Amino acid sequence: MVVGVLLLGVLLYYLLVVTEGVFLGRRLVVWLYDRVAGTYDARKAVDPDYEAFFLARPLQHHLKHIPNPLILDVATGTGRLPVALLAEPLFHGRVIGLDASGKMLAVAADKLRPYQFRAALVQQTADRLPFPANSFAAVTCLEALEFFPDDETAVYEMVRVLKPGGILLVTRRKGAWGKAFLYHYRTVAQFEAFLRVIGLEKVYTVPWQQEYDQVYGRKRHEG
């Protein structure tokens, strides 16, 4: 009896905490993020200087040849990347943030209020991006791929809406916590190979956080 209860507790911890509901369905994942939306930034200890140095400025560097780029941030959550980009004095583009959690987007809307004419938010899932092909100069997705029911379809969609020559920036979960996501986990070589197969070139990985790498790629021009 005691052993059974302990095993049940371990299983629930794995399903609800470690993998945040991904193996129990999208609705549960969205519900969990709705629950923590109000405290999410505090839990993540979001630091504007850190976000600028490691996210906004490297992406700006890749887009320096485009005067006013349009960027899509998939699984934007509380607007982490849009806020970091729009706060940069040298960034003159626009950002669309997309997320399935309405309450996370509500927090993002408050943070993006000073940039209301250069920012928009859309509530939608990543595997059905409501945009035409070849729409964005860059598409980003941070700390989220492993929580999508079908991460491959989501990445295909990101590449579809990316303009030829556009930049994709996504993250790869790594280490023991990454392997806990089972078939959502890929090694550096496997993930880079997948991105090349679906139409990217100049793919490379940058170590970032303890649990995540950043992975960049450029969409190939047709022909």
Per-residue pLDDT reduced to its tens digit, 73-110? 999 999 999 999 999 999 999 999 999 999 999 999 99
Measured between its terminal Cα atoms, the distance across the chain in Å is 64
Number of domains within the chain: 1
Give the tens place of pLDDT for each residue, 42-74.
Answer: 888 778 898 999 999 999 999 988 989 999 999
Angle between helices 188-197 and 151-161 (to 10 degrees): 50
Q: Is residue 223 pLDDT above 60, yes or no?
A: no
Confidence tier at 145 by pLDDT (50, 70, 90) = very high
Q: Which domain holds residue 174?
A: 2-219
Q: Taking a C-beta distance cutoff of 8 angstroms, is the pair 162, 124 a contact?
A: no
> What's the mean pLDDT in 120-145?
96
Distance CA 108, CA 79 (A): 5
pLDDT score recorded for residue 21:
62
Question: Does 21 or 120 have the greater pLDDT score?
Answer: 120
Task: Return the closest-CA partner of residue 46 out of 223, 221, 209, 170.
Answer: 209
Largest interatomic CA distance in the chain: 65
CB 181 within 8 A of CB 19: yes
**Tokens at residue 16, please?**
């609800």
The predicted pLDDT at position 16 comes to 67
Q: CATH code at 182?
A: 3.40.50.150
* Average pLDDT value for the chain: 89
CA–CA gap between residue 184 and residue 40 (Å, rounded): 23
Strands annotated E in 32-109: 70-74, 94-99
The model's confidence at residue 116, banded by pLDDT at 50, 70 and 90, is confident
Its pTM surpasses 0.75: yes
Above 70 in pLDDT, residue 17? no
